[in-house]
Amino acid sequence: MSQRTCLSVILAAGEGTRMKSAVPKVLHAIAGLPMVAHVVKAAEAAGATGLALVIGHGADEMRKAAQKFAPKAETFVQEKRLGTAHAVLAAREAISKDYDDVLVMFGDTPLIDAQALAAARQKLAAGAAVAVIGFRPPSPTGYGRLIEKDGHLVAVREEKDCSDEEKKIGFCNAGMMAVAGKHALRLLDKVGNDNAKGEFYLTDIVEIAGAEGLDVVATEASFESALGINNRAELAEAEAIWQARRRREAMLSGVTLIAPETVYFSHDTEIGTDTIVEPNVWFGPGVRIASGAKIHAFSHIEGATIASNCDVGPFARLRPGADLRNKAKVGNFCEVKQATIEEGAKVNHLTYIGDARVGAAANIGAGTITCNYDGYSKFFTDIGEGAFVGSNSSLVAPVSIGKGGYIASGSVITESVPDDALAFGRARQKTIPGKGKELRERFASAAAARKKAAE
């Protein structure tokens, strides 16, 4: 089958009114990725060599989004919503390109398993003209039933049209199917709209193909894989399923999740073996973690690279561009953005490091910040290997601290510091005996006067 070509037609034109959103339904995200992009990934994993997105509501927004997750996809607009077969035919130009297989999928089924799609394609490779993907929900009520006879699919029957006996069937229509490319357009063009809604139903090709003597079969996907998303409650349910799958995958690959149900991954999170993740950690898009790292509780990480044996958190925030090298430490209530923390360097607590380099084995004291933004532009701070920055220091960029440099606590550093130099950037302390008592008495008297005036 590896040599067979395959077009995936993904129907994504629905308005999704039940989402109650200005955003097209299929662009709502699961694990930080639009649900239609999950469908695209499944199609590609199943061997799709061409992609056709049928769009409608929010067409311009859909095209813009598709450039990110499916840059090679062709887009086709369904001007009027006249049924699923009509939607597929919006991609007539793509379907006519003599693909061996045509997969018809829906943009609101983000959990679809690539293996289920590949199984349907296998049926086409074995000679079937149509392979409909079915599933077995806990209750079939409301779903179309797959009517089989002698191992062949003879009809897809809507529940309202089912006999009492057919309503007992638990094998239901998931909506997705694979059609042999050489038959696809002919079968689709034969679909009529002689029904109560006056729509062209994709499922009609089952009986049309059967009437031509073509082989029509059903394959089975899991209930979870076939779930369609219609509202935000179902979106949350799908997110929970996706997260549960990913957590299990991570743990089986050698990652320790102490409280798995509290850890949230993004679609592209990479995490190495022997990494330990404590409770309530959130991984946004673009996170790569090597082996042996420890991510402490309540950390928020996005767009960051974390090398082996690093220690992060608790309550740490790593923003895009954070790059932690081997054995680096970013502790509690620290924020790192667009900065490299080199091997063995420590940013222990209550610190902001942005647009900077912290050299190997350097130590950044509590409350230190890099002042990287002047309201208009960003500037770089370079902290050399083995430097020591005392607590509560402000490093006003652009500035550099040389190798082995030492910054006294409470300093505001506005000029670069040479290697091994000691820098003070604070006012000299002055102590006035008795002045504290005098100030207290003056402030108390003023407060009493204000209170009396207010009465």
d(CA 260, CA 27): 27
Q: Do the beta carbons of residue 274 and residue 295 sit within 8 Å?
A: no
Please name which of 269, 247, 243 lies closest in space to residue 258, comparing C-alpha atoms: 247
Is-catalytic flag, 300? Answer: no
Burial pattern 84-123, b for ≥16 Cβ within 10 A else e, equals bbbbbbbbeebbeeebbbbbbbbbbbbbbbbebbbbbbbb
| Region of residue 184 (phi > 0: left; psi between -120 and 50: alpha; otherwise: beta) | alpha
Catalytic residue among 28, 86, 183, 349: 349
Q: What is the DSSP string of 112-169?
A: --HHHHHHHHHHHHTT-SEEEEEE--S--TTSPEEEEETTEEEEEE-GGG--TTGGG-
Determine the residue type at 81: R
Q: What is the DSSP string of 222-252?
A: -TTTT----SHHHHHHHHHHHHHHHHHHHHH
Q: Do the beta carbons of residue 10 and residue 18 sit within 8 Å?
A: no
Q: Which two tokens stand for residue 429?
A: 């302390």
3-state secondary structure of 361: coil
CA 341 to chain centre: 26
19 — phi, psi (to 5°)? Answer: -75, -20
Q: What is the DSSP string of 45-84?
A: HTT-SEEEEEEBTBHHHHHHHHHHH-TT-EEEE-SS---H
Q: Do the beta carbons of residue 201 and residue 132 sit within 8 Å?
A: no
What are the distances in angstroms from CA 80 to CA 55, 86, 116, 380? 11, 9, 30, 54
Q: Which two tokens stand for residue 126?
A: 């074995």
Rg (CA), the chain: 31
Strands (E), 275-332: 276-277, 282-283, 288-289, 294-295, 300-301, 305-306, 311-312, 317-318, 323-324, 329-332
Please name which of 20, 183, 131 lies closest in space to residue 28, comparing C-alpha atoms: 20
Q: Do the beta carbons of residue 291 and residue 272 sit within 8 Å?
A: yes
Q: Which two tokens stand for residue 6?
A: 């395959």
**Annotated catalytic sites, by residue?**
349
